[in-house]
Structure 1
Amino acid sequence: MEIFYQGHGSVRVTTASGIVLFLDPCAGDGYDVPADVVLITHQHCDHNQVQLVTIKDDAEIFSPSSMLRYGEYQSVQIKGINVTAVPAYNRNHPKEECVGYVVNADGIRIYFAGDTSRIHEMKNLKELEMHYAFFPGDGYYNMDVTEAESCADDVGAKYSVPIHLMPYHGQQGALFSEEKASRFRPKGALILRPGHKIVTRKSADGVEHDIIDA
């Protein structure tokens, strides 16, 4: 599996069989790879720029309108990927309009927190034994990196990655802060810079990876 960080809150996942999933398209490059699945955590303009993505004819797009129905979080299976919506909210992001996602593919479990602050539901994810977890830390619309550290402890993923480190005000670019990333220090902290990707490999201890400049 490859997990390519495009920048801000945008991530592209490619499974071992070549299935391509985009999360919250907006920042960076890499949208020319045709998508099988697009996940939108909420309908803010720095998370829902689907027009950037090259879409396959049979691709599916999921958002809170389809993954949070009548207060129930939904789960779907598509092309060998299991996607489950989970709570995500704070004072800037209403609970009924936003979700995070747990993505399970190739035996690898990834938590994308979406735009959120520390919420009690995160502790429920610990039993899922996540391999990777991605947390926002801009400290403006969402929690800061100190609070994100606490979330990482709550979730207990093997590797925790800080993203969405700058508030978005319509500007272009990867929107990444080295200074904020350097202050994110939970157990298993992994700094993934825009334009870099995680390439996973199985090991005797489970999942390991290399970081490659794409």
Structure 2
Amino acid sequence: MYRPCLASLGANWLALMLCAAGFLPAQSPQFARPRWNAEAELQLELQAANGQRYQLQWSTNLVDWRGLATAASTGLVQHVDTASPYVPQRFYRALQAATNALTGDHIPTAQGDAIMRHFNHATFLLWWNNLAIYVDPTATTYVSQGYPRANLIFVTHEHNDHYNLNALNTLTNAQTVLVVSSSVYALLVSAASPLTNRSVRLLNGQSTEQMGVHVEAVPATNDRHPLGAGNGYIVTLGGTRLYISGDTSASIDRSRITNIDVAFVCCDGRYNMGPPEAAQFVRAIRPKVVYPYHYNQANPAAFKAQVGRDLGIEVRLRPWE
């Protein structure tokens, strides 16, 4: 089914690159020779046909393969494996994906990968088991751009960079369920929105199960966000625990924010934690993977440096802004 494109050995790594068969030689996707950046992270480059989509996968034994990312080619697919400094050996391969496959990072769960597609600021999409789960959607163009309508939507609080009623209206259908904070629920009620009847209001400490997804609300508060008005969320997908911070400080009650696999932590330094505070917060909760987001003009690279590598926390930087 696959044929080797490149094998190379270096820095205690054996990287065997595989590509999909069935192409003419001139059209075959090929990995470029592996390179490492200054942080000892492997930089993958796949030379592939423009317009095609590929799923990058990794393995430690050439038998069990796991998704790394799905990406669209512009002639070249580039991806930095930020987990590479923490593992002694990985093999990689690329499989051609459907032309309409959702692009994004793969997050493993016991019930199949979730694909995380970042948008901007505080918004992202999780695609898992044919469920489209949106967090703080604020644009009205997701569906017109080809993204799926929402099955579930989580809204952390009422500020307009997290809550937009028009965006919610364009993204929902009659089956969509919203999980919202008390401040967002109050706005839906005051607007006499039909979405009120499909919204689950969670107070800090409360939880709900929707479509096989467990969601628990945890505090998200700071000088600009009163305690109880907004939520952070712990979302469990197939046993994998994701923490979504919302706008918060590090001084919240962290007793429920434990055993986190993937964290999404706001860090703009104006409406929530700055990079130094956010880095200390992350070091305290110790997720396996963290995405800094909602960072505006703050420097996410500074956050990554301050998290450090001694605790084995993988920091993934994506262009949220």
Partner of 2:301: 182
Partner of 2:163: 48
Q: Is residue 140–residue 166 contact of structure 2 (8 Å, CA) maintained in 1?
A: no
Q: Distance in 2 between matches of 1:120 and 1:51?
A: 31
Partner of 1:99: 231
Q: Distance in 2 between matches of 1:49 and 1:56?
A: 16
SS in 1 for 2:176: strand
Q: Is residue 101–residue 113 contact of structure 1 (8 Å, CA) maintained in 2?
A: yes
Which of 274, 277, 281 in structure 2 is aligned with 1:144? 274
Q: Which has the larger radius of gyration?
A: 2
Q: Is residue 122–residue 154 contact of structure 1 (8 Å, CA) maintained in 2?
A: no
Which of 119, 124, 127 in structure 2 is aligned with 1:6? 119
**What fraction of aligned residue pairs are identical, expressed as a percent?**
26
Q: Distance in 1 between matches of 2:123 and 2:233?
A: 13
How far apart are residue 135 of structure 1 and its match?
Answer: 0.8
How far apart are residue 22 of structure 1 and its match?
Answer: 0.8
Alignment of 1:68-147 (within 5 A): 68=203, 73-126=205-258, 129-147=259-277
- CA deviation profile, 1:58-111 (whole Å, cap 9, x unmatched): 11112112101xxx5221111111111001100000012011000111222110
* CA root-mean-square deviation: 2.0
TM-score scaled by length of structure 2: 0.52
Q: Is residue 122–residue 320 contact of structure 2 (8 Å, CA) maintained in 1?
A: no
Q: Which residue type is aligned with residue 182 of structure 1?
A: A
- Cα 1:194–1:163 change in 2 (3 A) is closer
Partner of 1:22: 134
- CA deviation profile, 1:134-174 (whole Å, cap 9, x unmatched): 111111111101110011112111011110111xxxxxxxx
Q: Distance in 2 between matches of 1:184 and 1:61?
A: 31
Q: Is residue 6–residue 28 contact of structure 1 (8 Å, CA) maintained in 2?
A: no
Q: Distance in 2 between matches of 1:124 and 1:67?
A: 15
How far apart are residue 28 of structure 1 and its match?
Answer: 9.4
Partner of 1:191: 317
Larger RCO: Structure 1 or Structure 2 (Cα < 8 Å, ≥ 6 residues apart)? Answer: 1
Q: Distance in 2 between matches of 1:45 and 1:12?
A: 18
Q: Is residue 220–residue 252 contact of structure 2 (8 Å, CA) maintained in 1?
A: no
Which of 152, 161, 178 in structure 1 is aligned with 2:291? 161
Q: Is residue 7–residue 27 contact of structure 1 (8 Å, CA) maintained in 2?
A: no
Moved over 3 A (4+): 27-32
Q: Distance in 1 between matches of 2:283 and 2:240?
A: 19
Could you tell me which runs of 5 or more consecutive residues in structure 1 were left unpaired when the two chains were aligned.
Answer: 167-176, 196-214
How far apart are residue 56 of structure 1 and its match?
Answer: 2.5
Q: Distance in 1 between matches of 2:320 and 2:252?
A: 29
TM-score scaled by length of structure 1: 0.77
Q: Which residue type is aligned with residue 4 of structure 1?
A: R
Q: Is residue 28–residue 194 contact of structure 1 (8 Å, CA) maintained in 2?
A: no
